[in-house]
Structure 1
C-alpha cells in the first residue's frame, strides 16, 4: 500500500525534478566457506540501477575523495550460513586523516527499503567532519537496490497501483483495493519468492555484523536514521558486546505494533501540516493557499475530496488522483525545506495543474525520471511484512477509522487503510514489535525531533527505555522535519560529532533548539 514511510529520502524533492546520485555493483550467488575472511574488492562505482533510483555514478567529494563500491557475500539464509550466498552492495569514502582513523562508520538511512548506496553520496558533504576519522560506509540492505532486490510489479502496473483509490468509500471500492493489494503481493511472491523469507531486520542486522568483521573493525560504529534506528536497535540486541559508538536519529518507537505505528504517523503528519499552515499564514506576504491555519487545512481537505471524483492533469498521461495528491503532500512534510514546494504545488493544483504534487508523489513512491521505479516501496512492504506478525483485515481498519480520523482528519483514512499492506503475504511475520533490549551495549546517542512527522518525538524516549538502563543517551531537538543532524543545528552537530569523534557523551536529556 502506498503510504508515508519512516524513511529519510535522499533529497526528497531535488526530487522527481532532478536525479539523485546513486551507485552499486553486481552480486554473487555462490557458497564460499568462511565469509568473515572474505576480502572486498573496492572499485569505482558504476551508474546506479533502476532499482537504486537511476542517474549517474556519484561525483567525487569536494576535496576529491572518490566513492568506491564493493560486493560482500552473505548467506541467503542465516540459519544455513554455509549455504547459498547473496551479494550485499557496499559504498565507502575513505577517512581523510589516516593517522587518526578510528575505523568505519556504517550508515543506514531508513525505509525500510532505502538504498544506502544512493543516499550516502547524496548527503556525503554533510558528514565531512565525521570523515576526518572514519571511512564513511553504507550499503543496500538485502532486498534493496542491487542486493537481491525485491520486485513485485512492472512499471506500468506500479503507475496504476500508486494512483489507485487507497481510501475506499463503499463496499465496491473496498473490494477493488483488496484485489489490488492481493495482486501486488502475489507479484512479489512470483518474482521474488526466494528472498522474501530472508529480508527481515534480524537478517540485515546479521549482515551488518559480517560487514564489521569484513571491514576489519572490532566494534561496529553506526549512524542510523529513521528505520535505521530500529535496525541499529536490533543489532544492539543481537550483538551488544560489538556496539561501538552509535547514533540513532529520527527514532522509530520499538514498542509499537504496526497499527500503533500508523496511528503515530497520522498524528505526526497532522502536526507537521498544522505547523506548515501556521508558518505559511504567519509570513508578511499573503499565504496563497489560505488566510488562516484552519483555512489552509480546510481548503486542502476540500481539494482532496473533490479529487476523489475528478482527478487533475498530472505528469504525462497520468492524472493526479486523491491518493497521489495525499502522498505528495505527505512527502513535502518530511522537511521544512520543502514547504515552499507544497505551497507552490497546492497553488498550482487549485488552478488545475497537478504536476508539482504529482512529482512529490513520484518521489514518495520511488518513480524515476524515465518512468522506471526504484524498488524502495516493494522492499519496504517485503521487510515490514517479514518483521510484523500482524495481518489486518477490512473489519480491523473500519473499527479503527474513527480513532485515525480524530488523530488526523487529512491523513487518518490514508494511513488506516494502509494497514492492509500485508494481506495475503506469502511469508509469516516474525513478531509484534522488535526486541531492542541491549544489556551490556556501549552507550548509544538517541535523538528525537519534536516536529518529526514520520517518526514522532515520543519514539526516542521509548527507544531509550527499551535499550535498557545505562545504554540510551536521550537528546531532544526542538525543530521541524524528519531527523536532526542534517538540520545543521549546531547544538545537535556538536553533540553527535563530539561523541562519534572523541567519545564525549552529552548529558542525558540535553535539549537543542
Structure 2
C-alpha cells in the first residue's frame, strides 16, 4: 500500500492538501501509495528529438481566480519521442513581487491532482513566498486531466474499495483475489496503451520538460508524501538542474515493497495510539475505557463488529459499511491532528452503530464525490505503484506478510498489506527497483520528516536524507502527515528560507513540539 498518499485535499475535515495517501489499492508513498525505485542514468540535456518539447510556448489562458492554465505536450514513450504524444494539464498562480522563478508543487498520491492542489495556493503558502515564485502545479501523466488511467466504473470502484482486505476465511481470500484480478484486467481493457508509461521516472522527465517550458534554468520544487519520491527521482535524473527541492513527508525509495507496507501500517498504529492518548484527556472522549490499551481494544472491537455486521449508512447510496470502509474512515483523520475532534465524533456515533460520518471521511480519502463518482485517483495510484515497484506474484506471500504485519499493527496491518494484491496480477511488468537514489552532483536537498507521521514514518525521512548525497534532514516533533504549514513556525521558516535564499538548516535539526 506504499503510501497511500491519497489525495491530500484541503477540506474542513482534512487539511491534508491534496494527496493524503491513497490507501486503497496499494497506496504508498513514494514507493508505491508512491514508491521507490532508482532512477536510470542521469540526464544532462535534452536530445535533439526532445528539444521541441522543451521549446514549446503554450498558450496560458485565465482560468479563474487569477490562475492561468495551459496544456503541454510530452512523449508517451521517451524512448520514442517522435511517436505518440500525450498532453499534461498545467496551472500556475503568477508571482506578485520580485520573481525568482517557478515553484513546482505536488501533493502526493500517486494519483493526487496537482491542478486541484494548486488551486489552494493562497492558503498553502504565505504571501512572502508567493511574491517570489509562480506557483505551478500539474496533473502527472495518467492522473486527472492528463491522459487519465481508467479501470473501473463507479459502482465497480465502490465494490473494490469495500472488499474485505483483512480476510478471515478462504471465501474472503478468494473474493479479494477475484476483486484484485478484476481491477488489473479492467485497467488493461481500458488503459493498455498508457499502463507501460505512467512510471515515476516518466513523470519526473515530464517535470523537466515543464521546467524548460517555463524557461527556468533551475528546478525549484516542493513535494509531499509520494511527491518526495517524484522529487528525488527528478534529482537522480537531473542533478545539475536542481535549484532547490523540499521533500516533505518523505518516502525511502530503498525500502522493499512489502516491508514499506509493514512500516506504514505500524505508522498508522502509532498515530492511532497518539490519538487515543489525546482523546482520553478531552471532554468529548468517545471511549468508555480509561486506559490507552482499553480504548484501542474498543477500536478493534468496532472493526470486528463492522466485519460481521456492517454499520448503519444514512447516505442512502446502497453501500455496506463493512470493515474496509470503516478502516478508511478511521485512517483519514489520522493524517491531520486538527481532524482528531472530528474522528472522536465519528467514533462516538460508530460505537452506537452509525458509521455515516466515518463513511464521509473515507470518501475524502478515496476522492469519491457526493454523486457517487470518483476521480481516477485510486486507479492512477495502483497503476503507478505496480509499475514503480516489484511486488510478489504469489497469493501466499501476501497472506504471510499480512499475518506478520498484523502482529505489530493489529488494527491496520492486514488491510494495508492486502491492498497491494492487484499488483500480483498486473498486466505490465514493473520497471522500477527498490533502491536508493543518490543524486550525486545536486545542491543541498531538504528532507522534512514528522516524528509521528502516520503515513510516511520518520525513519523514511532519515533514510532518504542519508541516501541522497546532498540530503539535509529536518525533523518535526509532531503528529500528522507532513510538516510544512502544519503549525510549526520552526519548520515553516526553515523551508521558506531555503526556497527563497537557499539557506539550509543543520542536518538533523528537530523542530520542537507545538504546545
**TM-score, normalized by length of structure 1?**
0.90
1:130 to partner: Cα distance: 1.4
* Contact in 1 for aligned 2:10/2:120 (Cα 8 Å): yes
Equivalent runs, 1:4-23 vs 2, <5 Å: 5-7=4-6, 9-11=8-10, 14=13
CA displacement, residues 103-156 of structure 1 (integer Å, 9 cap, x when unaligned): 101001100110011112235323132111110001000000010101110111
CA displacement, residues 65-95 of structure 1 (integer Å, 9 cap, x when unaligned): x111111100011111121110111110000
Partner of 2:266: 267
Partner of 1:396: 397
What residue ranges of structure 1 are gaps of 5+ in the alignment?
Answer: 21-30, 46-58, 61-65
| Cα gap change, 1:250 to 1:132, in 2 (>3 Å) | same
Partner of 1:348: 349
1:181 to partner: Cα distance: 0.6
Alpha-carbon distance between aligned partners in 2 of 1:453 and 1:228, rounded to the nearest angstrom: 16
Partner of 2:466: 465
- Alignment: residue pair count: 477
Does 1:113 find its partner at 2:111? yes
* Other structure's SS at 1:511 match: strand
Alpha-carbon distance between aligned partners in 2 of 1:286 and 1:215, rounded to the nearest angstrom: 50
* Other structure's SS at 1:73 match: strand
- Could you tell me which of 55, 60, 71 is aligned with 1:42? 60
RMSD between aligned residues = 1.9
Equivalent runs, 1:466-485 vs 2, <5 Å: 466-468=467-469, 471-485=470-484
Partner of 1:221: 220
1:7 to partner: Cα distance: 4.1
Q: Between 194-203 and 400-409, report the one with greater CA deviation.
A: 400-409
Does 1:80 find its partner at 2:85? no
* Other structure's SS at 2:473 match: strand
Equivalent runs, 1:489-504 vs 2, <5 Å: 489-504=488-503
| Cα gap change, 1:326 to 1:115, in 2 (>3 Å) | same
CA displacement, residues 321-365 of structure 1 (integer Å, 9 cap, x when unaligned): 111000111111111011111111111111121110001111111
Does 1:416 find its partner at 2:417? yes
* Contact in 1 for aligned 2:198/2:383 (Cα 8 Å): yes
Alpha-carbon distance between aligned partners in 2 of 1:35 and 1:4, rounded to the nearest angstrom: 31
Alpha-carbon distance between aligned partners in 1 of 2:125 and 2:221, rounded to the nearest angstrom: 13
Alpha-carbon distance between aligned partners in 2 of 1:8 and 1:457, rounded to the nearest angstrom: 20
| Cα gap change, 1:33 to 1:226, in 2 (>3 Å) | closer
Alpha-carbon distance between aligned partners in 2 of 1:435 and 1:141, rounded to the nearest angstrom: 23
Partner of 2:285: 287
* Other structure's SS at 1:430 match: coil
What residue ranges of structure 2 are gaps of 5+ in the alignment?
Answer: 20-48
Q: Between 422-431 and 398-407, report the one with greater CA deviation.
A: 398-407
* Other structure's SS at 1:327 match: helix
Partner of 1:49: none
Q: Between 274-283 and 288-297, report the one with greater CA deviation.
A: 288-297
Alpha-carbon distance between aligned partners in 1 of 2:205 and 2:89, rounded to the nearest angstrom: 15
CA displacement, residues 294-324 of structure 1 (integer Å, 9 cap, x when unaligned): 2221111011111112102222122211110
1:502 to partner: Cα distance: 1.4
Alpha-carbon distance between aligned partners in 1 of 2:83 and 2:443, rounded to the nearest angstrom: 33
Alpha-carbon distance between aligned partners in 2 of 1:93 and 1:286, rounded to the nearest angstrom: 41
1:243 to partner: Cα distance: 0.5
CA displacement, residues 252-305 of structure 1 (integer Å, 9 cap, x when unaligned): 01111110110111110000000000000023x261224322222111101111
* Contact in 1 for aligned 2:7/2:377 (Cα 8 Å): no
1:435 to partner: Cα distance: 4.5
